[in-house]
């Protein structure tokens, strides 16, 4: 039975999860949400899944847009995997509500913690901790694949009940502000004008002006531009220059670039 996995990625965590899940499922097709042409394509699969990062303790705006615009032949089973830095909060509950507006039911929803790429709060942490997260994620993905294969219907995973209301409130209050939070990006003298930052941006938020990147207030706060910069020339605020950069070690720049329509 064919499965379509729609993924959204910036620094590779969600792409790695989607690829690993597709491998475990067998008959699965990967589709990049960042490059999906909703005017030309539909999805016709027995099962359909979303793999995406948690942003501000909720569903990224690009995922909401994709769901609202997509044309599809209704699948019999819908699942989701929310990739996060340790707190999935009410993200999958939010996603379920969004899907209901499209007359779709979220059959299952899973949380997969991985290394944080939110560099304003610090670097990715020691390699030993990263390795432990990767190993744990592999085991969790194997379990998820088995449940999807069996078409199991189950409640979505969520964070602690005592914390979820606060994090959901923060998500709602910040949602309309995220796009302009790119005002804090800047580029230092190490910039070699390669333009990779614009090519990896999943929201096509960056243009080059006089050889330097300009952010155009369509930001999703994925930090792909900063994390993939080969010269570590892109900064955010005052502290990121001292932090290690991160992308998933099994995802290379070419893996992200080949899924960006701007490079075609």
**Are residues 138 and 208 located together in one domain of the fold?**
no
**Are residues 207 and 153 located together in one domain of the fold?**
no
Does 258 score more than 80 pLDDT?
no
Q: What is the pTM of this model?
A: 0.94
**Are residues 201 and 146 located together in one domain of the fold?**
no
**Are residues 32 and 58 located together in one domain of the fold?**
yes
pLDDT digits (tens, 9 = 90+) for 9-48: 999 999 999 999 999 999 899 999 988 876 667 888 899 9
pLDDT digits (tens, 9 = 90+) for 16-27: 999 999 999 998
Q: Which domain holds residue 192?
A: 178-263
Q: Among the three residues 117, 141, 167, which one is the final residue of a domain in this structure?
A: 167
pLDDT band at 263 (very low <50, low <70, confident <90, very high): very low
Look at residue 34 and tell me if it is in a domain.
yes
pLDDT digits (tens, 9 = 90+) for 129-184: 999 999 999 999 999 999 999 999 999 999 999 999 999 999 999 999 999 999 99
Which of 36-40, 75-79, 89-93 is the least confident region? Answer: 36-40
State CA 116 to chain mean position distance.
12
CB 256 within 8 A of CB 15: yes
Provide the sign of the torsion angle of the four alpha carbons 39, 44, 50, 51, taken in this order: negative
Q: Among the three residues 115, 142, 167, which one is the final residue of a domain in this structure?
A: 167
Q: Among the three residues 118, 144, 167, which one is the final residue of a domain in this structure?
A: 167
Distance set, CA 223 to CA 91, 144, 153, 219, 262 (Å): 20, 27, 34, 9, 18
Does 245 score more than 60 pLDDT?
yes
Does 262 score more than 60 pLDDT?
no
Alpha helices (H) in the chain, listed in sequence order: 13-25, 61-69, 91-100, 127-149, 164-174, 196-200, 224-228, 253-257
Q: What is the pLDDT of residue 228?
A: 98
Does 264 score more than 80 pLDDT?
no
Angle of CA points 32, 263, 29, to nearest 5°: 25
Percent of the chain with pLDDT over 90: 87
CA 229, CA 139: separation in Å to the nearest integer?
31
pLDDT digits (tens, 9 = 90+) for 95-105: 999 999 998 99
Instruction: Single out the residue of 252, 227, 16, 228 nearest to residue 124, CA to CA.
Output: 227
Q: How many domains would you assign to the chain?
A: 2
SS3 state of residue 148: helix
Residue range 221-229: mean pLDDT, rounded: 97
CB 71 within 8 A of CB 105: no
Taking the CB of residue 118, how many other CB atoms lie within 10 A of it?
A: 17
Look at residue 138 and tell me if it is in a domain.
yes
Look at residue 173 and tell me if it is in a domain.
no
Look at residue 242 and tell me if it is in a domain.
yes
């Amino acid at each position: 039975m064919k499965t379509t996995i729609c993924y959204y990625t910036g620094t590779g965590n969600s792409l790695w999860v989607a690829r690993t899940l597709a491998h475990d499922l067998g008959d699965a097709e990967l589709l990049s949400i960042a490059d999906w042409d909703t005017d030309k394509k539909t999805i016709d699969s027995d099962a359909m899944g979303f793999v995406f990062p948690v942003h501000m303790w909720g569903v990224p705006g690009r995922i909401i847009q994709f769901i609202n615009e997509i044309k599809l032949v209704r699948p019999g089973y819908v699942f989701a995997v929310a990739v996060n830095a340790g707190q999935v909060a009410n993200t999958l509950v939010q996603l379920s509500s969004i899907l209901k507006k499209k007359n779709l039911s979220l059959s299952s929803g899973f949380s997969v913690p991985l290394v944080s790429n939110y560099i304003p709060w610090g670097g990715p942490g020691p390699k030993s901790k990263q390795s432990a997260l990767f190993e744990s994620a592999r085991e969790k993905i194997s379990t998820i694949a088995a449940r999807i294969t069996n078409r199991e219907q189950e409640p979505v995973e969520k964070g602690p009940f005592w914390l979820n209301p606060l994090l959901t409130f923060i998500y709602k209050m910040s949602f309309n502000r995220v796009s302009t939070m790119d005002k804090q990006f800047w580029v230092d003298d190490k910039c070699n004008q390669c333009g990779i930052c614009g090519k990896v941006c999943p929201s096509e938020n960056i243009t080059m002006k006089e050889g330097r990147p300009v952010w155009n207030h369509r930001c999703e706060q994925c930090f792909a531009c900063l994390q993939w910069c080969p010269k570590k020339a892109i900064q955010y605020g005052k502290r990121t220059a001292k932090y290690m950069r991160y992308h998933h070690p099994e995802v290379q720049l070419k893996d992200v670039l080949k899924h960006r329509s701007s490079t075609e």
